[in-house]
Amino acid sequence: MRYIDHILQPGETVLRTSTVHWIVYLPGVALEVLALAALIAGSALPLFMPIAAVCAVAGLALLFRGWFQRWTTEIDVTDRRIVYKRGFIRRHTVEMNMDKVESVDVDQSIMGRLFDYGDIVVRGVGVGLEPLRNIEAPLEFRSHVTSH
């Protein structure tokens, strides 16, 4: 069950749910491709076999980390507030009421524009949410926040 389902107040509705973009898998995939290339090269030169093994293990670790980050991060916009939750055993949550939101800043790189991900900073009266990194569809997220 999602975190937001546990904390919804009576009459509150979820407008948008987001998470970390799939781009977090890219470093792990790149290492797995490198491991495959080293494995193929290792058939001719056995020196590349340990390199292939190290790249494969490191790639799997990065893939697991990306999956875990996506699985344990939840960003929700309701009609009353913004809720950011990350973590599994050690959970970190931040909430901001919609009436306290002053602006929503979106920062996208060229890759972010191509693959529709970016960093979001929600600025509020006297305080701001920490930067939300690599969020999928950040412009859509911003429009849900600023439309209220």
Q: Cα Rg for the chain, rounded, in angstroms? A: 20
Check if the beta carbon of residue 140 is closer than 8 Å to that of residue 75.
Answer: no
| Interval 18-40: pLDDT, tens | 999 999 999 999 999 999 999 99
> pLDDT tens, 45-94?
888 999 999 999 999 999 999 999 999 999 999 999 999 999 999 999 98
pLDDT at residue 12, as a whole number: 95
pLDDT band at 143 (very low <50, low <70, confident <90, very high): very high
d(CA 69, CA 120): 17
pLDDT in tens, 90-110: 999 989 999 989 999 999 999
**CA-angle at 116, arms to 106 and 1, nearest 5°:** 90
pLDDT level of residue 126 (50, 70, 90 thresholds): confident
Straight-line distance from the first to the last Cα atom of the chain, in angstroms, rounded to the nearest whole number: 27
pLDDT at 127 over 80: no
- Map tokens 């980050």 to a residue: 69
- At 34, list the tokens: 């490198």
pLDDT of residue 13: 95
Over 80: is that where the pLDDT of 148 sits? no
